[in-house]
Amino acid sequence: MTHTKTIPALTLDGAKAMVAAAEAEGLKNGWNVSIAIVDAAGGLIVFHRLENTQPASDMIAIGKARTAARFKRPSRLLEESVAAGRLALLAVGDALPMQGGLPIVVDEHVIGAIGVSGVTAAQDEQVAHAGLAAFQR
């Protein structure tokens, strides 16, 4: 009998490919953004900031990615829950209920997440989707 199982893990090359695709989406649209890729536990793997991105976007992008990874869902869903009145979520440590964080899912396992910040919430998520699409190819 085995007491372990094999779970896919995000590689550095996979994270770099996601950052490159997200950066390309940001540049294509003229958006200055910060991009963070984390592992399943929220540990930072890659961070990248486009020129002239506001400094506050750094911690926000990392927070969105960590939230998506740890809660195993897009950070937008937590934002929607707070907006609907579930204010208790604001008391959860390290949770950042803001749109722009997406989990990376492989074989039903969340292996990490991408978080983006710097423009509107919907634009942040658009950039994150572009990064996620590069991973899923």
Q: What is the pLDDT of residues 11-34, one digit of tens each?
A: 999 999 999 999 999 999 999 999
Burial degree of 4 (CB within 10 A; 0-12, 13-18, 19+) = exposed
User: Regarding predicted confidence, which is higher, 93 or 21?
Assistant: 21
CATH class assigned to 12-136: alpha beta
Tokens 């372990």 belong to 4
Helices 121-136 and 75-83: angle between axes, nearest 10 degrees:
150
User: Regarding predicted confidence, which is higher, 29 or 90?
Assistant: 29
What is the distance between the alpha carbons of residues 20 and 90, in angstroms, rounded to a whole number?
32
Tokens encoding 30: 């003229």
Q: What is the pLDDT of residues 29-80, one digit of tens each?
A: 999 999 999 999 999 999 999 999 999 999 999 999 999 999 999 999 999 9
Give 137's pLDDT tier (boundaries 50, 70, 90).
low
Mean pLDDT of 83-102: 93
Mean pLDDT of 116-130: 98
pTM for the full model?
A: 0.94
Confidence (pLDDT) at 93: 85
Tokens encoding 47: 């961070």
pLDDT at 134 over 70: yes
Indicate the domain borders of the chain: 12-136
Residue 66 CA, chain-centre distance (Å), reads 7
Residue 100: how many CB atoms within 10 A of its CB?
36
